């Protein structure tokens, strides 16, 4: 029996630092839980551009297609701001998503009890929060044609096209309904059917999939702007939210801040099943490359470690070990360990990136 495989793409900024802590966790599972993962490492984003003149080489793209899962750190930074759009670091990330056909982006927003006071919202609003936003990832306004900047008369015009097919909507709706069956059995679909034809189609197709295949799941609809308001008012009314690429981008970042820090939020991008029956998958923290703190040991590695926990659950069928890792993180937070982004108004002395990783390894040892 072959070991599960993983391609690590640390990327730019704080990516290599947080990924180093994930490597500690991977090594721990191999040594202490007999879960050996064959790990390969590659370049993406600015790091790849510096080495190869492209944000993602064909060779790395082929490798990503061949492994069980990809774990990405972060891409981008101000040193690449003046590059041509076609070779900006973010193009490497978008190429991975598009060519792997990772159409379903899972972004959990979970508030650990130890951090409930850290959110900008009242404790009773966020304590115990556990919602999942399912964002369509490979179509919509970020990919639609025509697009670009053109001359019209004596001024420039920027054009982006919101475009969805029935099949693109249906498959991400199925992903949300399947996930809801394993959680609270409730889906809220968000769009702008009041002003956008693509929103009308979105609502129609989600309803059709629900009626034909998932009548046991509770379905509601909400305009995306109202959804943003409700996320801030009472987020615990939601279980699974399914929405398009643009609104999913905005709503998931808003939901992320309910938990207090982007440094706590993982994500999974899933595609069609491979030969082994598991979906093609890429995992990444929601936070960016944070170039202002890169190389200083200040980054919070928890989002990247939680992204690996999602890989354990969705790509390696190791749900119990994912629970173990998440419980270890909760233990460490309950004991008061904080990187700088998690220090509240009362202040305190933050621990470093590597010290947080070591604390999590200690909690994993204690779990045995």
The catalytic site residues sit at 142, 192, 225, 249, 253
- Tell me if 56 sits within 8 A of 48, measured CB to CB: yes
Specify whether the CB–CB gap between 106 and 179 falls below 8 A: yes
Helix H or strand E segment including 168: helix 166-181
Q: Is 121 helix (H, G, I), strand (E, B) or coil?
A: coil
Q: Tell me the angle at which helices 58-66 and 89-99 cross, rounded to the nearest 10 degrees.
A: 40
Spell out a b/e string for 206-228, using b for 16 or more CB atoms within 10 Å of the CB, else e: beebbeeebeebebebbbbeebb
Between CA 252 and CA 133 the distance in angstroms is 6
Q: In what order do the strands lie in the sheet with 69-74?
A: 38-41, 5-11, 69-74, 279-283, 268-273, 104-110, 130-136, 240-243, 186-191, 218-223
Q: Which of 311, 271, 14, 48 is nearest to 139 (CA)?
A: 271
Q: How far is CA 201 from the centre of its chain?
A: 26
- Give ∠ CA 171-195-191 in degrees, rounded to 5: 30
Residue burial 25-60, b: 16+ Cβ < 10 Å; e: rest: bbebbeeeeebebebeebbbbbbbbeeeebbbbeeb
Phi, psi of 201 (to 5 degrees): -65, -40
Question: Facing residues of 240 across strands?
Answer: 132, 187
Give me the residues paired with residue 130 across strands. 110
φ/ψ of 253, rounded to 5, equals: -70, -40
């Amino acid at each position: 029996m072959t070991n599960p495989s993983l391609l690590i793409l640390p990327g730019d900024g704080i990516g290599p630092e947080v990924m180093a802590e994930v490597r500690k966790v991977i090594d721990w599972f191999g040594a202490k839980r007999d879960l050996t993962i064959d790990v390969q490492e590659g370049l993406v984003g600015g790091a790849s551009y510096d080495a190869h003149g492209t944000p993602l080489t064909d060779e790395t793209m082929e490798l990503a297609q061949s492994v069980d899962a990809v774990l990405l750190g972060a891409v981008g930074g101000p040193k690449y701001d003046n590059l041509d759009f076609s070779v900006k670091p973010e193009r490497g990330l978008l190429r991975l998503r598009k060519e792997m056909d990772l159409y379903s982006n899972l972004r959990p927003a979970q508030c650990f009890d130890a951090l409930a006071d850290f959110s900008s919202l009242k404790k009773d609003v966020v304590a115990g929060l556990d919602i999942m936003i399912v964002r369509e990832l490979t179509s919509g306004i970020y990919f639609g044609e025509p697009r670009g900047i053109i001359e019209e008369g004596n001024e420039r015009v920027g054009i982006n096209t919101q475009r969805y097919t029935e099949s693109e909507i249906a498959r991400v709706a199925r992903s949300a309904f399947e996930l809801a069956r394993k959680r609270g059995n409730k889906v809220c679909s968000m769009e702008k059917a009041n002003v956008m034809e693509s929103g009308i189609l979105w609502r129609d197709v989600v309803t059709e999939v629900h009626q034909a295949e998932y009548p046991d799941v509770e379905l509601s609809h909400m305009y995306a702007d109202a959804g943003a308001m409700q996320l801030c008012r009472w987020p615990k009314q939601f279980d699974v939210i399914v929405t398009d690429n643009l609104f999913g981008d905005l709503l998931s970042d808003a939901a992320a801040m309910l938990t207090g820090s982007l440094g706590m939020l993982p994500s999974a991008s899933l595609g069609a099943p491979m030969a082994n029956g598991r979906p093609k998958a890429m995992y990444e923290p929601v936070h960016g490359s944070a170039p202002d703190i890169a190389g200083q040991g200040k980054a919070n590695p928890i989002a990247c470690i939680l992204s690996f926990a999602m890989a354990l659950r969705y790509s390696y069928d190791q749900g119990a070990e994912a629970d173990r890792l998440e419980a270890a993180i909760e233990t460490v937070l309950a004991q008061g360990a904080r990187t700088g982004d998690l220090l509240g108004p009362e202040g305190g002395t933050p621990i470093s990136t590597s010290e947080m990783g070591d604390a999590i390894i200690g909690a994993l040892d204690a779990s045995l």
